[in-house]
Amino acid sequence: MAFEKELAARSNNCCELCGNTENLTPYEVAPAPNNSRLEDYIFTCDTCTSQIENPDAMDTNHWRCLNESMWSETPAVQVVAWRMLQRLKSEGWPQDLLDMLYLEDETLNWAKSTGEGEDKEAEEYHKDVNGVRLQAGDNVVLIKDLNVKGGGFTAKRGTAVRNISLDQNNPIYIEGKVNGQTIVIITEYVKKS
């Protein structure tokens, strides 16, 4: 198939996202603006393809490869890199890459055309000062001295709070133990560790 050979030549027989050289197949980046021409496809490995199509099975560390592939000159690769970074931005490090990534208007519109990256205001969740999602059982570090009302002490900046619990009624509050006492902490004063 000439089409697949052209993709293999463009990608140097590597996955255009992670660099893997095994189990490579063409992947159409929807919606295809060029009517299914070569420019609408990327060459991907099975691992990347399965995680693109099944977000619940994503391995966050696998996608650190986007640090390099996001600089590809191929618009379809840029689109997929942008979409995957959007999916992962709650991890912290992808947001840094998104801040550096520049896409031409046409490419950015293509990337956004599936709704990836839209803020879902209805979906509120607990997040630290850096926007990283917090979950029950996480460990956090205080980024500010906090006077503990009724506790008679000040929780110092840099104090580790282990095994936090989340206030299900309000996404800005978490609970954790400091000096053996359970306290309520506002999420903007913590950083996930």
User: How far apart, in whole angstroms, are the C-alpha atoms of residue 90 and residue 88?
Assistant: 6
At 130-142, the pLDDT tens digits run 889 999 899 999 9
* 152 vs 72, higher pLDDT: 72
At 57-116, the pLDDT tens digits run 889 999 999 999 999 999 999 999 999 999 998 888 999 999 999 999 999 999 998 887
Q: Supply the pLDDT for residue 152.
A: 86
User: How far apart, in whole angstroms, are the C-alpha atoms of residue 139 and residue 190?
Assistant: 10
Confidence check: pLDDT of 13 > 60: yes
Query: pTM for the complete prediction?
Result: 0.61
The answer to whether 166 and 181 are in contact (CB under 8 A) is no
**What is the per-residue DSSP string for 48-72?**
HHHHHH-GGG--GGGGGGHHHHTT-
Number of helical (H) and strand (E) elements in the chain, helices listed first = 6, 10
Give, in degrees to the nearest 5, the angle at Cα 69 between 67 and 72: 130
User: How far apart, in whole angstroms, are the C-alpha atoms of residue 17 and residue 27?
Assistant: 11
The answer to whether 71 and 82 are in contact (CB under 8 A) is no
User: How far apart, in whole angstroms, are the C-alpha atoms of residue 83 and residue 161?
Assistant: 33
User: How far apart, in whole angstroms, are the C-alpha atoms of residue 4 and residue 26?
Assistant: 7
* Domains defined for the chain, CATH in brackets: 2-112 (no CATH), 140-192 (2.30.30.40)
User: How far apart, in whole angstroms, are the C-alpha atoms of residue 98 and residue 29?
Assistant: 19
- With a CB cutoff of 8 Å and minimum separation 6, the contacts of 38 are 3, 6, 7, 10
